[in-house]
Amino acid sequence: MKSRHAPGAFALAVRERTAAPAGVAAGGGARQTSARLMLVSHALCPYVQRAAIVLAEKGLPFERREVDLANKPDWFLKLSPLAKTPVLLVDNEAIFESAVICEYLDDTSLPRLHPANALQRARHRAWMEFGSALLNLIGAFYNAPDEPALMARAAEIHARLAQIEPALGDGPFFAGATFSIVDAVFGPVFRYFDVFDAIGEFGFWDGLSKVPRWRRALANRRSVAEAVRPDYPELLRRFLWARHTALSRRMTPAAASA
């Protein structure tokens, strides 16, 4: 793809050179690629976070450019046929959709984050889809128009989390001691609950032990923590407050801007 699709993209980007810190990427140092990588992003997008986590786990330097999804520029629409983030530019060749980006990165750089066994790899991909479905349910939760709908969605989220519980082993990650792309998918999922839990008690974690432990392990993973800007919690609170939903009515103005 020619650079005309995103004129001056690399020069105009806010440079955010990112690499996995020592000890983050299991299995040794990542094989570095000579390609220039730019992650086209939105500050709150959980799908962007997946790609950023995988890039960090592989020790791949990349640049980041944020777009305003409420006012999408023409260059972005040419790169992203679905008009969504993330988009990964590989030497100005665009790859869109987070799962595809993560698979591409795992195909082309070390360490591998998918299992070597085909059956286990398929199982991981299935749980990645489960994580995407959970994100849709989280959206339904924070968009619920009234309290009965809010609590109904909260109960559905709890039921989904309860489904994950027996799939987890001794941890700390989904596949035990090895960090995988499933973990990269669920790190952004669990990040929402840091804000939700501060707003009210919704019973998300009732009767669960392995899922909260997994959540804590991911929150403490440097690649996960650094996949968002430092002001992410504030941005998410402002986003929720502005929606005028049942959840936002539980928030105080002070909490929305805390």
Which residues have a catalytic role annotated? 45
The dihedral sign for the CA sequence 189, 191, 197, 198 = negative
CB atoms within 10 A of CB 235: 13
Instruction: List the one residue out of 58, 51, 60, 36 whose CA is nearest residue 85.
Output: 51
Nearest to 177 by CA among 166, 169, 165: 169
Residues 6+ apart with CB under 8 A from 168: 174, 210, 211, 214
Give the strand order in the sheet containing 87-90: 63-66, 37-41, 87-90, 93-96
CB-hemisphere CA count at 13 Å for 57?
30
Q: What is the 3-state secondary structure (H, E, C) of 64-118?
A: EEECCCCCCCHHHHHHCCCCCCCEEEECCEEEECHHHHHHHHHHHCCCCCCCCCH
**Distance between CA atoms of 58 and 132, rounded to whole angstroms?**
22
Structure tokens at 112: 């591998």
